[in-house]
Homo-oligomer: A and B are copies of this chain.
Amino acid sequence: MKIINTIKEMQEIADSYRKEGKTIACVPTMGYLHEGHLSLIEYADANSDIVVTTLFVNPLQFAPGEDFEKYPRDIDSDFNKAEKSGSDYLFMPNTKDMYSPAFQTNVQVTGITTKFEGEFRPGHFDGVATVVNKLFNAVKPHFAVFGRKDYQQTLLIKQMTADLNMDIDIVVRPTIREEDGLAKSSRNVYLSDEEREKATILYKALKATEQLMLSGERERSVINRKLNDVLMSISGIVIDYAAAAVANNLDEPEFFADGDGIVLLIALHLGKTRLIDNLIVKL
């Protein structure tokens, strides 16, 4: 696997493969790779000629007071894992190259980004849209692969690429979980042993609420109460949101209709760590 540090070199490589008729896949990451990321790289490798994994901890998408500075980093380990999973290039632009002092452009998706994560992380989704737009223009992929754990982010990226006519297919792959159900996340490393144990409540709450829905419940307030009640059974949790919404547009009707895909979304604080998870329920 080759490391590429400049946008210009990345573009030249992409142009060259495109001229040869090769298919390029992009897997955008902030590094500290876990099995979730690796499953995306493996998917990309199985479905393209050239896989570019990007590694950039994007300052724009951290809201003030968040964990940009202490976000976990381990480049040697990332290199080995990405290479073993089938990545051909590791694109690691430096921050100065990505954001010059004169930088003044913002890509904003409205609508679907205003609620849930958008409400609790001001500026986060603008940062995501802008950096993904930039990474796509640098890597020039035919398709890009994202994990479903960041569910709202996957909606945003699909919307942005469609709205801006970006000729890139967006592939969303399932969340990879620990044996006890906890979604793999670079931020899990922050958890103490006790918190790690408590963290299983996210998946338990999602599955318990799914059960309620599969047994016939359609009223949103009842579904939301179930989700919150299960989470609140654990001490030391502060919930940002725990809510059901129509999966493809995040609408929140009073009653869900059969045939809708529903997404159950959770974001909460466990000690100093913020965790998110979600589950799609097919009615």
Q: Which of B11, B18, B109, B134 contacts A105 (CB 8 A)?
A: B109
Nearest 10 Cβ contacts at the A-B interface: A105-B163, A104-B111, A137-B165, A106-B108, A104-B110, A134-B165, A11-B167, A138-B165, A105-B109, A7-B165
Determine whether the beta carbon of B104 is less than 8 Å from that of A164.
no
Asked if A70 is an interface residue, CB under 8 A from chain B, the answer is no
Q: Residue A166 at the B interface, CB < 8 A?
A: yes
Minimum distance in angstroms from A47 CB to a CB of chain B: 19
Task: Show 13 A/B contacts (Cβ-Cβ < 8 Å), sorted by A.
Answer: A11-B165, A15-B167, A19-B19, A100-B162, A104-B110, A105-B107, A105-B108, A105-B109, A105-B159, A106-B109, A106-B110, A107-B107, A133-B164
Copy total for this chain = 2
Q: How far, in whole Å, are A108 and B108 apart by their CA atoms in the complex?
A: 8
State whether the Cβ of A21 lies closer than 8 Å to any Cβ in chain B: yes
Instruction: Given A108-B106, A109-B105, decide whether A167 and B137 contact each other with a Cβ distance below 8 A.
Output: yes
Q: Contacting A107 at CB < 8 Å: which of B100, B102, B164, B167?
A: B164
A63 part of interface (Cβ distance < 8 Å)? no
Residues of B within 8 A of A129 (CB): 105
* Nearest residue, chain B, Cβ from A12: B167
A164 to B11: give the CA distance in the assembly, Å.
13
